[in-house]
Structure 1
Amino acid sequence: MAAPGTHVGHYVQRNGRFLLNNLQKLCGHRSFHRTSALQQQAAEANEESAQSIVIPRKKTWSKEAVLEALSSTVGRDPTAYRYQFQDDPFLSPRTSSEFTLFSLSQESGRSAAKFFINNNPKLFTKDFAEPHIPCLMPETVSLLLEEVSEEALKERIHLRRVTAAVDMYDQLLQAGTAVSMETTHDLLDLIALYCDRNPAEDGGPQTESSEESGEEAKKKKGRFRQASYFLNATWKENNNAERIFNLLSEKDTRCYAALIRGMVRHGAYARAFSLYTDMLNNRITGDIHIFNALISAASEVREQYNERWDLITELLKQMNQQKIQPTLQTFNSVLKALRRCGFLAKTQALHTLSEMKALGIAPSLASFNHILVVFFRPGSSGPGNVDILQEIMSEISGMSFTCQDPDDVYFFCTAMKICLDNKDLELGYKVHALVEVGENRRLVGDPYQQSIYYGRFFNLLCMMEHADVVLKWYKRLIPSLYYPNTQGLKDLLQTLDTESRLDLIPTIWKDIRSLGHENKSGLVEEVLSLMARDKHSPEVQELFAQCALDIKTVYTGEGGWSRLEWTPAALSYIASLLLRTDKTQQAWEILQLFKTNNRVPSAELLEDFLLACHSSGSSQRAVELVQMSAAFCLSTTPKLAEKVLAQFELNEEQRTLLSELESTGEPSD
């Protein structure tokens, strides 16, 4: 078989000769020798190129190459639901409450399915499926090895059966069977991780995490996220991890690391440092995991800021002495601990960041988040806060990040809060532009954090941007990325009011109903107040009147909507809007609701009704209006009766009645 480049070489040589022959004919015989030289050079060049050209037999593509190519051709559809709701469009949430219910139901369904599979493994022995996707098949959770052996212990460790693994380990010791150090390491890691209890993921109830920082604890209310069961456990003295550790004749770094990390994870900070001291006394070198855990716990075992930083510095020096290279997690632990070091934090945080870069360790989003928290204090604003964020954004602008630290997901929320507090729209756009780069959107956080981030961004837009731009972002974000809360919609209404775009309120009201906020009385009254405050063109007033009638159904409970309690302000706004479009009969029905719901109309509203009665020439309605005013014992009743007597044609009975009301201000029996 010919070499890969042979046929190409023949093709080049053959075409080269053809071109040279044509050149000879064009140039004549006098240039023959020159042409022969060119031909020889071309032949040599062809031979060299034939030897250098290598045609690959096969191109290897990644499994996701086609999907990646297709995804690069399209952008995000702002009218589409989130990807996690695409499976069943009928059940896709349309409001924030439905979103919470959907998310809770989805997680509850997963937990119920896992509980059923784990407790009834014999019912799920078949693992075939078309197409067969191994990662979607249920895991094997039943114990297959019953004899006392190290293999059975490994099986229990793999299935995270903490109690069963400890029992098997004790049986092996009683039988005089030695357990390898590698298996012992895995057992200690398991016990320390779950604090000597079986993990909740295997079918038990799940509770919410209690290990949260100060600002995270404030976000806890109403937050939906999968909780970590084992973080609620408390490290007990002489538990199985410590008992097995004390039984070991030889203890190495990995054994100490398992217990120290477990103690720090579960709040036994002083015991972790005591065990570390014991390790040093036994002349055992630590590892990076031990130091990362101890650095994160430094602020828990010292009271004074100076003492905390001195302890962190001492741990870093010991790392250097033991020739342990720091990692990203090491520096992030230092930066996170500095958040609780008071006045020392700002200076030392910048030094720590410089040290990271000097060692060639690229900061993650968590690193920058810790820096922002150190420099930014809640309720404070000023150029210093913006300057540090400006420097960070100039450094990471246009970069695509992957999650390297659990705290990476807090950066964007913190950055947008600084932009909002300082009302820096340009910087807010830069932060959001970074979110749109690559897969950075995934690092905004869980659905609760996403709601916080987009809510702050939308609030910033409403405060600082023009109405047209706000509405553009409104269509892009809502509801595909953000279900606005009541305050977010009030901010939008305020923007429309500032820009004199109140004609868009009926459209916004439709969105308010679709988003499930029609049961918020404060928001509904805000909509009515803006529509009723000023008079507009007849076309706009007609839109407002139709919108007011639709809002009326929310209060009366028509169409299955939840019923709101009537307030005097809501009744007055709706009645005024109806009167401005000559919908007198419907306005009069609203006026009757004052009496039905024991609400008192204002004198201004009665004056408006009197003008409507005068325009339509309805003297009987005018008399009834005065009687209603008298029934509510309003001080304006005599003045109202005087106007009706002067402006309307009345019969004798009506004049007598109004004369009494004019003099007494009280209705006659």
Structure 2
Amino acid sequence: IPKKKTWYDPTAPHYMFQDDPYLTPRTSAEFKLYSLSQESGRMAANHIVNKNPKFFQKDFAEPHIPCLMPETMELCIEEVSEAALLERIMLRKVKAAVDMYDQLLQAGTTVSPDASNDLLDLICLYGDRDPVQDDKPEAEDVVGYYLCGLYLENNNAERIFNLLPERDTRAYSALIRGMVKYGAHVKAFNTYTDMLNNRLTADVHTFNALISAAPEVRERYTEKWDLIVDLLNQMNEQKVKPNLLTFNALLKALRRCGSLARAQSLHTLSEMKAMGIAPSLASFDHVLGIFYKAASPSQGQTDILQEVMTEVAGRTFVAQDPDDVNFFSSAMRICLDTKDIEAAYKVHDLLRVGENWRMLGDSFQQSIYYGRMFNLLCMMEHIDVVLKWYKELIPSLYYPNPQGMRDLLQALDTDNRLDMIPQIWKDIRRMGHDNKSDLVDELLSLMARDKHSPEIQESFAVCALDVKSLYEQGQGARMALEWTATAMTNITSVLLAAQKKQQAWDMLKLFKTKNRVPSEELMEEFLASIKSSNDPQHAMELVQISASFCLPSTPKLAERVLQAFELSEEQKYDYCLGLLELGTTDVNSTPSEGSHPLHLLRPLTP
């Protein structure tokens, strides 16, 4: 009896969808919709509970867990007091807190420095407006009193800052970080200069903000770096110890300092180790961004990636920087661009260590990561390995987009495994990509290109007829595909190869209905199929159809029919009249040698 059994089905949907199998998503769009709907419902329930706590007073939980009880969202203190101000700050009521602060000053009440700094922190974080609710898009939250990098002088942050009787380091730090957050970079450095003139020292958070803003206030690469060095020297003079975010801000700023960033980034990593600060994934992501962008085509662009992967191999990481979630997708992008499959496996092995998978980011970033990995696998690995990963990743971790399915089809073509196309087509339909004309054309062209065994051709024909049914659904259907001559030709070729002559003949007639012109190669395939069954009637009809489309190869096709089939005098007569009615030629003209077969029928012409 095994000591451990792994109950994991790679073909199963994500665990978050298993409570409702009926709504299990099939495509990346449905995955996003389901995820957002589930999270939105959770936030809506939380919002209702916190908005109406009086309806949820009974506590059935044992033991009592305060953090799981509804939060108090309504204001309880109405009188003008510092306690009311602190309550509004705690509930993140920015406008209400500013109004209460102004009322306190108008009443002659002195506000404590801590309460004033708390208010300033709140305003500099959210701007002159209340933060959006959890169930609204986060993008609305960044609209503050700085707009498009322009600092508005009449904002509450600076007004309250100027009203403070004593401006300490905390007040300056809050204002500077707020300016950097909302794009007033030059104003932030001016405020920092004013802070130094008042003989105050900045804290580490202020320096972190200024370092990240340094590339915005200088033009040349050397000037950007000189400003960063000056800030680092001031940190040393003020005895401010840098932290992880300081070095990450430095590395991120170096990404905008051109070629000189390569040597300085390695020096920065060495300095981090000397100070006992372990780099986070964001640190390595910035280093990769610096080296990959600056490396010339003649240099090994993945050398630094190999060194980074050696450094982080087997380690478990936790989130310490908002940019940590960018590492895995960026590393996989480098692997894809340089076609380094070994490095890609190392990146994915690191993802599997401990709970590093949590550092992959949201569902969108996860889709980017696995999409790049799958694209690389399709290009570099044998088809058996690709199919193994295909079964492991899809659909539990990744919903391929149309480009991902095209990559898979090309991998099947490279390793001569086109027999799996009908199975892949079922997955394409299940994932909702069967309305992508480019993908459908790619699939049809692969099936029609070569001849295979009767069993494979039969499966191709079934697949082609299924594709044909999608085209026949019309514009009113959910998946409307527009008939093209290429698609019609490929479907017809597949049906001919599978000896589906009647269905192929129906497709040929469909060309006329849809105002599409068949190719001359397709007419040759039809003639070969008709010759194998020795059907002269269909052969003559084929020539008439070719003539109706005014194909240049019609005369040669007509001659081949006369030579390949034994026609009676009556059949030849009807054949000639049919061509004349279509206006193929003038039988009274003198044809050149081999230019037209109808001179063979001249004795029969009335």
Q: TM-score, normalised by structure 1?
A: 0.81
Mapped pair 1:458 → 2:374: yes
Mapped pair 1:126 → 2:56: yes
Mapped pair 1:238 → 2:168: no
For residue 592 of structure 1, the aligned residue among 509, 516, 521 is: 509
Range with bigger deviation, 415-424 or 158-167: 415-424
Mapped pair 1:425 → 2:356: no
Whether contact under 8 Å (1:633, 1:666) holds in the other structure is: no
Aligned to 1:535: 451
* Distance 1:173-1:477 versus aligned 2 partners, 3 A rule: same
Aligned to 2:603: none
* Distance 1:244-1:508 versus aligned 2 partners, 3 A rule: same
For residue 311 of structure 2, the aligned residue among 379, 384, 395 is: 395
Aligned to 1:334: 250
Aligned to 2:536: 619
Letter in 2 for 1:621: H
Q: List alignment gaps of at least 5 residues for structure 1.
A: 1-71, 209-226
Task: State the secondary structure of the residue aligned to 2:552.
Answer: coil
* Distance 1:649-1:127 versus aligned 2 partners, 3 A rule: farther
Aligned to 1:311: 227
Q: Deviations over 1:208-238 (max 9, x none)?
A: 3xxxxxxxxxxxxxxxxxx744479534213
For residue 630 of structure 1, the aligned residue among 547, 560, 572 is: 547
Quote the Cα distance in structure 1 between the aligned partners of 2:184 and 2:54: 41
Aligned to 1:566: 483
Aligned to 2:524: 607
Mapped pair 1:173 → 2:105: yes
Letter in 2 for 1:173: L
Where do residues 454-533 of structure 1 align in structure 2 (5 Å cutoff)? 454-533=370-449
Aligned to 1:206: 137
Range with bigger deviation, 524-533 or 235-244: 235-244
C-alpha displacement of 1:667: 5.8
Q: Deviations over 1:153-181 (max 9, x none)?
A: 11100111001001111111122222222
* Distance 1:378-1:561 versus aligned 2 partners, 3 A rule: farther
Letter in 2 for 1:180: S
Range with bigger deviation, 98-107 or 541-550: 98-107
Q: Deviations over 1:408-452 (max 9, x none)?
A: 011111111111111111111111100111111111122121111
C-alpha displacement of 1:107: 5.1
For residue 581 of structure 1, the aligned residue among 483, 487, 498 is: 498
Mapped pair 1:284 → 2:215: no
Where do residues 319-398 of structure 1 align in structure 2 (5 Å cutoff)? 319-377=235-293, 381=297, 383-398=299-314
Aligned to 1:186: 118
Letter in 2 for 1:600: V
Q: List alignment gaps of at least 5 residues for structure 2.
A: 586-606
Quote the Cα distance in structure 2 between the aligned partners of 1:468 and 1:274: 62
Quote the Cα distance in structure 1 between the aligned partners of 2:382 and 2:573: 59
Quote the Cα distance in structure 1 between the aligned partners of 2:237 and 2:276: 20
Mapped pair 1:438 → 2:354: yes
Q: Deviations over 1:251-289 (max 9, x none)?
A: 111111111111110111111111111111111121111
Report the RMSD for the aligned CA atoms in angstroms: 2.6
Quote the Cα distance in structure 2 between the aligned partners of 1:589 and 1:662: 21
Letter in 2 for 1:557: Q
Quote the Cα distance in structure 2 between the aligned partners of 1:525 and 1:327: 55
Quote the Cα distance in structure 1 between the aligned partners of 2:208 and 2:41: 37
Quote the Cα distance in structure 2 between the aligned partners of 1:465 and 1:629: 45
Task: State the secondary structure of the residue aligned to 2:133.
Answer: helix
Whether contact under 8 Å (1:638, 1:661) holds in the other structure is: no
Task: State the secondary structure of the residue aligned to 1:385.
Answer: coil
Q: Give the share of equivalent positions with the same residue, in percent.
A: 63
For residue 255 of structure 1, the aligned residue among 157, 168, 171 is: 171
For residue 11 of structure 2, the aligned residue among 79, 98, 110 is: 79
Quote the Cα distance in structure 2 between the aligned partners of 1:623 and 1:135: 85
* Distance 1:129-1:230 versus aligned 2 partners, 3 A rule: farther
Q: TM-score, normalised by structure 2?
A: 0.90
Whether contact under 8 Å (2:128, 2:145) holds in the other structure is: no
Quote the Cα distance in structure 2 between the aligned partners of 1:597 and 1:232: 59
* Distance 1:610-1:232 versus aligned 2 partners, 3 A rule: farther
Quote the Cα distance in structure 2 between the aligned partners of 1:78 and 1:202: 33
Task: State the secondary structure of the residue aligned to 1:317.
Answer: helix
Equivalent residue pairs, number: 578
Letter in 1 for 2:237: Q
Quote the Cα distance in structure 1 between the aligned partners of 2:449 and 2:169: 74
C-alpha displacement of 1:653: 4.8
Whether contact under 8 Å (1:291, 1:330) holds in the other structure is: yes
Mapped pair 1:105 → 2:37: yes
Aligned to 2:590: none
Mapped pair 1:297 → 2:213: yes
Aligned to 2:72: 140
Aligned to 2:85: 153
C-alpha displacement of 1:652: 4.7
Q: Deviations over 1:275-319 (max 9, x none)?
A: 111111111121111111111101111111111111111111111
Letter in 2 for 1:585: Q
C-alpha displacement of 1:113: 5.6
Q: Deviations over 1:302-357 (max 9, x none)?
A: 11111111111111111111111100000001111111111221111111111000
Aligned to 1:221: none
Aligned to 1:214: none
Whether contact under 8 Å (2:527, 2:542) holds in the other structure is: yes
Q: Deviations over 1:340-399 (max 9, x none)?
A: 111221111111111000000000000001101111129965544211111111111011
Quote the Cα distance in structure 2 between the aligned partners of 1:129 and 1:557: 56
Range with bigger deviation, 374-383 or 612-621: 374-383
* Distance 1:626-1:185 versus aligned 2 partners, 3 A rule: same
C-alpha displacement of 1:110: 5.5
Quote the Cα distance in structure 2 between the aligned partners of 1:311 and 1:193: 26
Aligned to 1:61: none
Quote the Cα distance in structure 2 between the aligned partners of 1:149 and 1:337: 44
For residue 558 of structure 2, the aligned residue among 641, 644, 647 is: 641
Letter in 1 for 2:292: F
> Which of these two proteins has the greater Rg computed from alpha carbons?
1
* Distance 1:384-1:620 versus aligned 2 partners, 3 A rule: closer
Q: Deviations over 1:112-131 (max 9, x none)?
A: 6667677xx35863243655
Whether contact under 8 Å (2:53, 2:70) holds in the other structure is: no
Letter in 2 for 1:375: F
* Distance 1:534-1:130 versus aligned 2 partners, 3 A rule: farther
* Distance 1:232-1:117 versus aligned 2 partners, 3 A rule: farther
* Distance 1:660-1:402 versus aligned 2 partners, 3 A rule: same
Quote the Cα distance in structure 1 between the aligned partners of 2:57 and 2:534: 84
Range with bigger deviation, 371-380 or 305-314: 371-380
* Distance 1:383-1:135 versus aligned 2 partners, 3 A rule: farther
Letter in 1 for 2:560: K
Quote the Cα distance in structure 1 between the aligned partners of 2:388 and 2:418: 16
* Distance 1:202-1:400 versus aligned 2 partners, 3 A rule: closer
Quote the Cα distance in structure 2 between the aligned partners of 1:449 and 1:380: 28
C-alpha displacement of 1:94: 0.8
Task: State the secondary structure of the residue aligned to 1:139.
Answer: coil
Aligned to 2:188: 272
Letter in 2 for 1:416: M
Task: State the secondary structure of the residue aligned to 2:301.
Answer: helix
* Distance 1:325-1:188 versus aligned 2 partners, 3 A rule: same
Whether contact under 8 Å (1:641, 1:659) holds in the other structure is: no
